[in-house]
Amino acid sequence: MMQPRPITPETSHPPFDVRRVRADFPILARRVHGKPLVYLDNAGTTQKPDGVINRIARFYAEDNANPHRALHSLSVRATDTYEAARATVRRFVNARADNEIVFVRGTTEALNLLASSFARPRLGPGDEVLVSAMEHHSNIVPWQLVCTDRGATLRVAPIDARGELRLDAYEGLLGPRTKLVAIAHVSNALGTVNPLRRIIELAHRRRIPVVVDGAQAAGHLAVDVQQLDCDFYAFSGHKLYGPSGIGVLYGKADLLDAMPPYQGGGEMISTVTFEKATYTRIPHKFEAGTPHIAGAVGLAAALDYVSAIGLGTVAAHEAALLACATEGLTKIPGVRIIGTAAEKASILSFVVDGIHAHDVGTVLDHGGVAVRTGHHCAQPTMECFGLAATARASFGVYNTREDVDVLVAGVRNAIDVLS
């Protein structure tokens, strides 16, 4: 199991009380099919604490206006609030400066922005973009599109039977035609935690930039973009207890500054005539139009929430749940875990012999247990294991050992019902 970052006196936090944490999430009091909700689809989206919900409502009630547009008091307050949220994100990932933080709709938009504005000008016929076999579709399709457009080739680094990246094969694929590496920090289908520092180091030896899909990592592991030395890092608010429709693209300032805009419109310009336009500085060059201000505010509240608990504490709690659930499910005859990497985050995918994953998920739902079933937007990963679908339980800060017990009992019941 992954070892969380040690908690030092400078980053110490109050003792973790999962009961107290659960009380912060109103949706967890719901009942589904008459049963208490056991929410285990956190890799899909996380639930939101009262602090995030209330902060969004307070913005609309007290501060709602367009930022950067006017001199009246509400606009100034909205600008200050929006830019304060950017500073919160910068601290959360330890970027060097606020201008390295671009607000986007989510990880998907961040990766599409990079494909359009960073990769397209750099790629030509015969050039290569390297991804891994465990990527989410959002870290495959944008690169396919730009490779097709530019006559480049998408190369794939393989994974082994445990769901771990084959580093030797990855290194062998890095060559003079490789213009970009795009890699997940954590696999959404397998839970594998990739050895990012080594992956980035090997690419940088050859002056190859690295894009990291951090959607499944940012709410579960401490992320330090300077320590990783990644060139870009993307994540989504809705997967770390924040609102949907907001996300972050971190990029090194010199790289962002050299990139052309992704979209045109208000705010991203300096001057406009009918003949030409000039563009404003980063990060606003990439934030055309009225931004999702409340989303940024809610995201900042979510980051403050998990930071107050401590990412090391979160990682340790989720690792314990993952270990408990893995042990419980592997004791059930006919259940097979998919993804057994030495380092995993809080994702547990499994199949049951002779029973479709959708049927398992349906029976679990009737017991109040919410899991994801299907290919998890990672069809090439499923193909590596000869599968069409798995059931996936994924854990968050508010999950408990009792949730794990209900999951294991629910899988046993599903087998009894469906066999």
At residue 409, the pLDDT reads 98
Q: Is 93 exposed, middle or buried (0-12, 13-18, 19+ CB in 10 A)?
A: buried
In a domain, 334, yes or no: yes
Q: Does residue 379 share a domain with residue 280?
A: no
Domain count for the chain: 2
Structural element, H or E, at residue 90: helix 73-93
What is the 8-class DSSP label of residue 333? T
- What distance lies between CA 135 and its chain's CA centroid? 12
Q: Does residue 65 share a domain with residue 171?
A: yes
Q: Does residue 297 share a domain with residue 158?
A: yes
Q: Can you give the residue range of the structural domain that contains 352?
A: 9-48+311-418
Q: Does residue 384 share a domain with residue 289?
A: no
In a domain, 3, yes or no: no
Q: Does residue 213 share a domain with residue 291?
A: yes
Could you give phi then psi for residue 167, rounded to 5 degrees? -60, -35
Instruction: Choose the final residue of a domain: 265, 281, 307.
Output: 307
In a domain, 1, yes or no: no
Longest Cα–Cα distance of the chain, Å, equals 71
DSSP code string of 95-153: -S-GGGEEEESSHHHHHHHHIIIIIHHH--TT-EEEEETT--GGGTHHHHHHHHHHT-E
Q: Does residue 195 share a domain with residue 75?
A: yes
Which tokens in the block code for residue 403? 């949730």
In a domain, 397, yes or no: yes
pTM: 0.94
At residue 13, the pLDDT reads 66
In a domain, 329, yes or no: yes
Beta strand 390-394 with 347-352: parallel, antiparallel or unpaired?
Answer: antiparallel
Are residues 246 and 292 in contact, defined by beta-carbon separation less than 8 angstroms?
Answer: yes
Using CA of residue 255, residue 258, residue 259, residue 264, what is the dihedral sign? positive
For residue 323, give the CATH number of its domain.
Answer: 3.90.1150.10
At residue 12, the pLDDT reads 56
Q: Does residue 299 share a domain with residue 161?
A: yes
Strand partners, 347: 394
For residue 302, give the CATH number of its domain.
Answer: 3.40.640.10
Q: Does residue 79 share a domain with residue 167?
A: yes
Beta strand 35-36 with 31-32: parallel, antiparallel or unpaired?
Answer: antiparallel
Q: Does residue 211 share a domain with residue 113?
A: yes
Q: Does residue 321 share a domain with residue 288?
A: no
Instruction: Choose the final residue of a domain: 288, 307, 326.
Output: 307
What digits encode the pLDDT tens for the residues 330-389?
Answer: 999 999 999 999 999 999 999 999 999 999 999 999 999 999 999 999 999 999 999 999
At residue 25, the pLDDT reads 98
Which sequence positions are flagged as catalytic?
Answer: 377
Which tokens in the block code for residue 239? 């997967």
- What distance lies between CA 231 and its chain's CA centroid? 16
Which tokens in the block code for residue 34? 């008459």
In a domain, 355, yes or no: yes
Instruction: Choose the final residue of a domain: 258, 283, 307.
Output: 307
Q: Residue with structure tokens 């931004």?
A: 291
In a domain, 321, yes or no: yes
Contacts of 52 (CB under 8 A, 6+ apart): 241, 242, 243, 298, 301, 302, 305
Nearest residue to 68 via CA among 281, 261, 258: 281
What is the 8-class DSSP label of residue 169? H
Q: Does residue 364 share a domain with residue 259?
A: no
Name the stretches of the chain with pLDDT < 50: 1-11
Q: Does residue 375 share a domain with residue 266?
A: no
In a domain, 2, yes or no: no
What is the 8-class DSSP label of residue 8? P
